């Protein structure tokens, strides 16, 4: 009878790496989960507020100015920002790109990143999409000009870093669906979906 050695793999399927393999302290995993959920909620809340005009950043009158209009009421969630709020050397580039398509891409990115990060699934894709969105917003706001609170590291950079850390340490496994997602056939075949 043959002896099976523990160091020799007996399955043709590779083992699924989980968050416990990367982050060994239970307390650290919990704080990463809290950070992941909070960051996902930032993206999801931005989507909800811009879609329905919940009177926080969208739909609230500021100093007597006309309130922004909710997306469902004909508002343009990206176009106003890209044409009027963008500053710096790429201001004209952003203004020329503003369209209905940028509204849809922006809103789908907010919804997709927010939902995926909250659920703990697709964190690699979310990290790429969310970081790209944050980089574009950083460029549009151009904090290198005078008057910025920090010309290099602002909240856009921090959000992108948090998304990258969550994806890297598999933070969706704790208080999320990351482990179940990792065992799915599609994710086992296409690891970048993890």
Q: What is the DSSP string of 112-176?
A: HHHHHHHHT-SHHHHHHHHHHHHHHHHHHH-TTSTT-S-SS--HHHHHHHHHHHHHHTTGGGTTS
pLDDT exceeds 50 at position 68: yes
pLDDT exceeds 60 at position 47: yes
Write out the two tokens for 179.
């482990």
- So what's the pLDDT on residue 69? 85
Residue 14: pLDDT band with limits 50, 70, 90: low
- So what's the pLDDT on residue 192? 93
For residues 147 and 132, the model is more confident at 132
For residues 69 and 128, the model is more confident at 128
pLDDT digits (tens, 9 = 90+) for 154-163: 999 999 999 9
pLDDT exceeds 50 at position 5: no
Q: What percent of the chain has pLDDT over 90?
A: 74
- How far is 24 from 159, CA to CA, in rounded Å? 24
pLDDT exceeds 50 at position 110: yes
Q: Residue 4: how many CB atoms within 10 A of its CB?
A: 7
pLDDT exceeds 80 at position 60: no
Q: Which residues contact 168 (CB under 8 A, 6 or more apart)?
A: 22, 127
pLDDT exceeds 90 at position 146: no
N-terminal to C-terminal alpha carbon distance within the chain: 39
pTM of the model: 0.87
- How far is 175 from 30, CA to CA, in rounded Å? 8
């Amino acid at each position: 009878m043959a002896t099976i050695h523990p160091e020799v793999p007996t399955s043709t399927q590779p083992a699924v790496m989980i968050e416990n393999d990367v982050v060994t302290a239970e307390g650290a995993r919990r704080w990463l989960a809290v950070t992941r959920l909070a960051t996902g909620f930032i993206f999801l809340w931005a989507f909800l507020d811009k879609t329905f005009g919940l009177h926080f950043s969208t739909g609230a009158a500021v100093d007597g100015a006309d309130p922004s209009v909710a997306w469902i009421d004909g508002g343009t969630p990206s176009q106003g920002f890209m044409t009027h709020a963008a500053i710096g050397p790429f201001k004209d580039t952003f203004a020329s790109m503003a369209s209905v398509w940028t509204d849809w891409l922006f809103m789908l990115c907010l919804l997709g990143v927010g939902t995926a990060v909250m659920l703990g699934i697709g964190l690699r894709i979310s990290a790429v999409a969310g970081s790209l969105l944050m980089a574009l917003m950083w460029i549009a706001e151009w904090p290198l000009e005078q008057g910025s609170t920090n010309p290099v590291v602002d909240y856009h950079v921090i959000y992108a870093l948090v998304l990258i850390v969550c994806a890297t340490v598999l933070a969706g496994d704790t208080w999320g669906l990351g482990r179940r997602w990792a065992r799915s056939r599609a994710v086992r075949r296409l690891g970048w979906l993890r």
